[in-house]
Amino acid sequence: MPKGTGWRISLIAAFVVLSFLYLTPTLASKLPSWWGNLLPKDKIHLGLDLQGGTHLVMEVDTQKAVEGSLDLVATDLEDTLNGKNLRFKRIARSGSDKVSVVLYEKGTADAVQKLIKDKYPSYEQSPTFDEGGFVALTLRVGEKDAQDRKDKAVQQALETIRNRIDQFGVSEPTIQREGINHIVVQLPGIKDPQRAIELIGRTARLDFKMVREDISPSGVIPDDAELLKEKSVDSTTGAVTEIPIVVQKKSMITGDLLTDAQVRIDSQFNQPYVGIEFNSLGARLFDQVTAANVGKRFAIVLDNNIHSAPVIRERISGGSAQISGNFTEKTAADLAIVLRAGALPAPVKIIQNVTVGPSLGQDSINKGLYAGLIGVLLVVVFMAIYYKLCGLIADLGMVLNILYLMGALAALGATLTLPGIAAIVLLVGMSVDSNVIIFERIREELKLGKSPKAALDAGYDKAFLTIMDSHITTLITAAVLFQFGTGPVKGFAVSLSLGVIINLFTSLVGTKVIFDVIMHKGTVKKMSI
């Protein structure tokens, strides 16, 4: 055996064994009990287009996130000025980028301006101006701060959606950011896409607000209050009625202070409700609010809809509360999921919704397999006829190429998509293309009168740079597709890049070893090429 051939044969054999080892979880419907923890368990996952599911493109309303942060600034300023006994007429967000502060006197304005400068140094503060006999100033968010808030809103929305999907129980979802304010969500194999869509897109902002019994819903609503509606469903007829209720605009407690939310069953009426638990700060605030408002109504508001507005019968300590309403077990479970995962920092809008049925996915798999099989057979027949015995060796290299590629996809736990299958079919051609370049070089050397062994070595040496150049340029293309593509395009890029690297090994090392073994004694007088 020629020098250096042994370790190459061992390497090829080792890769074959590893490929079969990693492909076993994919090929086997059930792994045997002795497989154990040391042997690989990852398998090739099927993409959305192969097993069916839902593809969503969501747009985050990032401007609402900026407005929400300004509302928090306004609330914080109210609390701060009240704490320092600085009188003011009104503090509220004005427009989409500023907070308006209206004061009674100039002396107070000077103190407020200094306080704002210390507390919010990055905000732009206007000089004081007269507003109907009062002193007013505005606090404007800077462009850079606004952009940072928008960027964080998309990141927060991404994490919140991921948490919700994880708790919903979808296996192998794809959730990623696309562009400035878009999020792509792929849910393969999902059974109830509409429920998932409603769950993902729900803002789920929870607020506890005091009901203003002193204000009639049909009358004039002051600036510090708002009119919301409580939906009521008749259990016998299913008729929905909306009851208008005036509540204090400022939230006493928000859902940010929750630590847990679980579905429970009311033992008296056998109806599901959502039990919630507050963190230490939320528990203390809930205790204070209920203690100070015994006998008053407390509205539980989710996404600007009142779920219930019970009367506080007694002080509630311990940090536990419940959200009741006309829940089914499914709607109560969905509410508990979104409350546990947290509220979206800004509303999201679904701008693209594509659902692929499982039968269509299976049809894609079948057609992809047929296309791959036909491609392989055509290449095998062509190479055997045109290059004879050398063509069969190239066919063996192609089989190794496919085996190694599938093993690598399984080892990485990669997702196989329909474009990924197309990349594999493309690589069938690429694998023999490298051998075609080598064989044509060998033919040229044989025409010059060289021996088969010398022609073989010269053919591989002279084709080396050409093959390397073509594969490196293809690899660069695959890298660009992976970096800037989404979904199926990434699947194509993964299969293509892995195939290119593997093909370099099989064409320059794998087939060369076979030729070296055949010709090592130097007795071959003629090549079948």
Last residue of a domain, one of 354, 370, 390: 354
Domain for residue 171, yes or no? no
Cα–Cα dist 271/286, whole Å: 25
Last residue of a domain, one of 304, 338, 354: 354
pLDDT of amino acid 409:
87
For residues 287 and 313, membership in a common domain is answered with yes
pLDDT of amino acid 343:
75
pLDDT of amino acid 360:
62
Domain for residue 174, yes or no? no
Give the CATH number of the domain where residue 288 resides. 3.30.1360.200
Nearest Cα neighbor of 322 from 387, 264, 269, 362 is: 264
Cα–Cα dist 151/147, whole Å: 6
Give the CATH number of the domain where residue 121 resides. 3.30.70.990
Give the CATH number of the domain where residue 23 resides. 1.20.1640.10
DSSP state of 169: T
For residues 304 and 431, membership in a common domain is answered with no
pLDDT of amino acid 244:
94
For residues 366 and 472, membership in a common domain is answered with yes
* Total domains present in the chain: 3
Burial class (CB in 10 A: 0-12, 13-18, 19+), 455: buried
For residues 445 and 382, membership in a common domain is answered with yes
For residues 386 and 497, membership in a common domain is answered with yes
Domain for residue 524, yes or no? no
For residues 125 and 265, membership in a common domain is answered with no
Domain for residue 180, yes or no? no
Domain for residue 89, yes or no? yes
pTM: 0.63
DSSP state of 128: P
For residues 258 and 133, membership in a common domain is answered with no
Residues 324, 307 contacting (CB under 8 angstroms): yes
Last residue of a domain, one of 317, 339, 354: 354
**Which domain does 121 fall in, by range?**
63-145
For residues 342 and 407, membership in a common domain is answered with no
Mean pLDDT for each consecutive 10-residue tract of the chain (529 residues)?
A: 75 90 83 74 76 86 87 84 87 87 87 88 87 87 89 88 80 82 86 81 82 91 89 71 90 84 84 87 87 89 84 86 79 82 82 76 74 82 86 88 89 80 82 86 86 86 88 90 76 86 88 83 70
For residues 406 and 484, membership in a common domain is answered with yes
